Amino acid sequence: MSTEMQRAKTALNLGSVVQIFALALVIAALSEWLGPLPIELGVGRVVLLPMIWALLIGLVLGLLNKRLPSPLKISLYSQHLAAAILSSALFLFIAKLGLLVGGSLPQLAQVGWGLVLQELGNLVGCIMLGMPVALLLGIKREAIGATFSIGREPGLAIVGERFGMDSPEGRGVLAEYITGTLIGAIFISVLAGFVSSLNIFHPLALGMGAGVGSGSMTAAAVGAIAAQHPEMADQIATFAAAANLIATTVGTYLTLFISLPLAVRAYRFLEPILGRNRKAVAVEQSVTAEPQETVHAPVLGLGMRLASWLLVGAMVLIGNRIGYGVPMLDALPGVLIIILAVLVGDLIYVGTRRKLPAVCWISFIAMAMTFPHTPYAAEVAALTGKVSFLAMITPMLTFAGLSLAKDIPAFRRLGWRIVVVSLLANAGVFLAATVIAQSFVHTM
């Protein structure tokens, strides 16, 4: 009986699946049709790309859920479904980046130490920029959880194991997680685009800085940087993919053994100096509260994951045609190769009992397919090269937008102080990694 109840909790609602994919297709196509909107800001400029339109449209639909006709009403279950599809669909973007990396491994080897050392920016940048501001705003131990990393799933696990999620540190990392989930992609896209327009940093250094260890944030940052330097779009994506792979694998252990202890020591040193006379402001316990409507997040089995990759692939083909003028039949073989790389990597991930993250296996498979010494590598690179990685980002952020409204109640309870600190931590990661990477690529 309990097994049947569990199946009922995780079973997919076919109507919601059809609705989410139909809405996502329309939103992504409309966003590509709208195109980029450059906004001049004096010394620099910000470009609102199709991916940002897609995210915002999806979010607005979720927020206006109760006021819209039935076909446009996105239930809480549908929002959770969109989040599950996003997690699966991001594998396609990872595979595309891996295909770019494989053919560029000789070039990446020239700045190998740069790729490794720029990870130090991910470790210390968030603390350097976020911790002092947090203490000046009166935030206490929550500052440790909010500034030791960008607060993705590994960060939640690390803090949960060390301090417990009910601790001030746990509330801090949860606040960082919610902030990053809700507006992280928008924020990093605007920041990366603006910094890129200043022409202070080499585009490849910016690309390396974009590899922060979060698929959606990396995608958003890469898209914004590439829009400012379209002639180097593939190279920027290549270096971002390599940096993101390092952040996803080695970065987790560096966060555990270096970044978190460093944040604790920084707090102990700076709090008596910056926070002594500040009125304590803590993140509310209620950020962990469940919404009034209890919804069990859907679980995507292999069949549904494969279906999602195929449907998202179709969205990519349409966006690639609308936004970049590539006929769908020309890009179809490349999309199928990308899906194949994801499928093989996912099967290996499951077959090895999930001991290594799926993104790593998918990246390795994709890189091997275009490695110069692999048979037919040139042909694979040519076929997948017809699929713009920017066209792949828009569907990803479409699903992100459709899933975000469910996090608004918790976001409202965070308070503006912790949101500011969380965004500064994200900015610190990107900027510090870019500064370190700059010293290794400025001569290229």
185-210 tens-digit pLDDT? 889 999 999 999 999 999 999 998 99
Dump strand ranges (E) for 217-374. Answer: none
Q: Which two tokens stand for residue 380?
A: 């694979």
CA distance 134 to 34: 39
SS3 41: strand
CA 366 to chain centre: 19
- Residues 128-146 have pLDDT tens digits of 889 999 899 888 888 898 8
| pLDDT confidence of residue 289 | 43
| pLDDT confidence of residue 2 | 42
| pLDDT confidence of residue 107 | 67
SS3 282: coil
| pLDDT confidence of residue 334 | 96
Cross-strand bridge partners of residue 37? 48
- Residues 1-43 have pLDDT tens digits of 344 444 444 467 888 899 999 999 999 999 999 988 877 766 6
H helices within 137-202, ranges in order? 142-147, 153-162, 168-179, 185-197
| pLDDT confidence of residue 24 | 95
CA distance 250 to 265: 22
| pLDDT confidence of residue 382 | 94
Note down pLDDT in tens along the chain; length 444 residues.
Answer: 344 444 444 467 888 899 999 999 999 999 999 988 877 766 666 777 888 889 889 989 998 888 888 888 898 899 989 988 988 888 898 888 888 878 877 766 766 666 777 777 777 888 988 999 989 988 888 889 889 888 776 777 678 778 876 688 888 887 888 788 778 888 999 999 999 999 999 999 999 899 887 777 888 899 899 988 988 988 898 888 888 877 766 676 678 788 889 999 999 999 888 877 666 665 554 444 444 456 666 888 889 999 999 999 999 999 999 998 999 999 999 999 999 999 999 999 999 988 777 888 888 899 899 998 899 999 999 999 999 878 888 898 899 889 888 878 767 777 888 889 989 998 998 998 898 888 877 555
CA distance 253 to 259: 9
CA distance 144 to 272: 15
On whether the pTM is more than 0.75, the answer is no
CA distance 365 to 362: 5
Residue 15: exposure state from Cβ atoms within 10 A (0-12, 13-18, ≥19): exposed
Residues 6+ apart with CB under 8 A from 353: none
The residue among 52, 60, 48 whose CA lies nearest residue 404 is 60
The residue among 441, 331, 419, 334 whose CA lies nearest residue 134 is 419
SS3 219: helix
Q: How is the chain split into domains, by residue range?
A: 16-65+77-441
